[in-house]
Each structure stands twice: as C-alpha cells, then as structure tokens.
Structure 1
C-alpha cells in the first residue's frame, strides 16, 4: 500500500516557485521583474477556455500576458504578466508520476516563464537545465 503524500500548503508552492525564478540567469530574472505569481487551487473557467482545456485537473500552470516577442513600444502599458500555478492539479500530477514537489513546481514555473520570452519547448527545456540545482 502506497503511503499518502502530505500536501504542501499554498505558501510552500510560492516559496518553491520564487526559488526557481531566483535561480534563473540574471538576464531572464530582470525581464521577469513585475511578474505576478499566483497560487490557486484550480484554474478558473475562463483560464481553461483560453488554452482550450475543459478538465480543470489537466492545467497545472498558466502564463497570462503579452510575450516579449509580441510587445511593441507603441502599445499602451500592459497589465503585468501573471504566472499561475494550480495547486490541486499539481498535487495530483505529483501523486500520479512520483515526480518530487520542487522538481515539478520548478518545471511548471520555468515552462510558464518561457512563454513570457516566446520560447519554444526546446528553449524552455534548456532554460530549465540552467535552473537545476
């Protein structure tokens, strides 16, 4: 019988996510200044719809903002970008895959931060490799 996994509180998610962001190379950290980090239990219906996902258990993280590659000096001051982590889907993924808490949070945070830079999946994996302990 598998031991139950103790669920980290929301504050632990934020601490872990901020630690991952702080380990990014300086040029990336600087460009993420002002990014809002949110920890929610689940994505809201409009967030799910924005990425064509119906099941709230399937979305572990979301970047909301205008990627740097799409910004223009002619744009009005945009709202700050937001990286949301969805606690319940992350906990479920952790239980189902056996991936450790810090590793999973780091992966999702770096992936969502990568959207801010307009990165491809390969670029996101390279960035994640830079952030590993």
Structure 2
C-alpha cells in the first residue's frame, strides 16, 4: 500500500492523459468542430502570456485558447498561421484543485471545455451543457 509520504503530484504526462480522456468524452459533434486544435500542457504560462493576460502571478491562469476562433473565421487555415491551441497550465490547475472539492479529472474537463469554448465563441451556459454531456 502507498503511504501519503510516497505520493507525488500529477506530472505533465498525467495531466495530458486527463486532458485526452476529457476530450474523448466530449460530444462527437463538438470534437468534429475542433479539428486541428492542438492541446498542450505546460507547468506555467510563459512571461509573454502573463503580460498579455495581465496576470499578477503565474497561478492566475488555468488555461488559455490561442488562435482564431470559428466565430472569427478560424475554420480556414492561412499560410504561416499557427494552429489553434489550447494550453492547460499544470501548476495553477493543481493549486486550484488542492483548494477545492472537485476531482482533478472534472477540473481538467472544465478548463478544457472552457478554453475550447473560446474557439467556438460559446457562452458560459453552452459550455456548461457540453461539460455536463462529457461527465
């Protein structure tokens, strides 16, 4: 049996696996519209992102969508354009998880759906319905 002293924080690979599982549970019609969206997991946002998002600390941001959303014509890839990307930030997610009562898997699903929702220009209510369908 593993003791508490032997436990380790979930790694980048662990969060990537949770994100992949969360993505696989999303409704098929939602995933079909996400074609080409890249999901990345990093420990923290980089300095440029911190400045752009006006973050006071690296723990202020759980995730981020970067790209051109479908609502802004993002369905057509232009030459030289980076793919649409969703970033999940491991350390801020773990910090939030430690202070709240939800499972890590549901938190990762929430952040993933919220950030992908920006790709679609969805409302918070739309995103809640998609999360409920993925639960």
Runs (4+) off by over 6 Å: 72-75
Q: Secondary structure at the match of 2:110?
A: helix
TM-score using structure 2 length = 0.86
| Unmatched segments (≥5 aa) in structure 2 | none
- Residues 36-51 of structure 1 mapped to structure 2, 5 A cutoff: 36-51=38-53
Aligned-partner Cα distance in 2 for 1:74–1:62: 21
Selected match of 2:118 from 111, 115, 119: 115
1:24-103 to 2 correspondence within 5 Å? 24-71=26-73, 76-77=78-79, 78-103=81-106
Cα distance in 2, alignment partners of residues 73 and 105 from structure 1: 25
Task: Give the superposition deviation at 1:74.
Answer: 7.9
Q: SS state of the match for residue 125, structure 2?
A: helix
Separation of aligned partners in 2, 1:74 and 1:105: 28
Q: How many residues align?
A: 130
What value does the CA root-mean-square deviation take over the aligned residues?
A: 2.1
Residues 2-50 of structure 1: CA deviation (Å, up to 9, x unaligned): x687411111111111111111111211121221111111001211223
| Alignment deviations for residues 30-89 of structure 1 (CA, whole Å, 9 cap, x no partner) | 121221111111001211223222211111111111110001688734321111111111
What TM-score, normalized by structure 1, do the two folds share?
0.87
Matched, 1:7 2:9: yes
Gaps of 5+ in 1: none
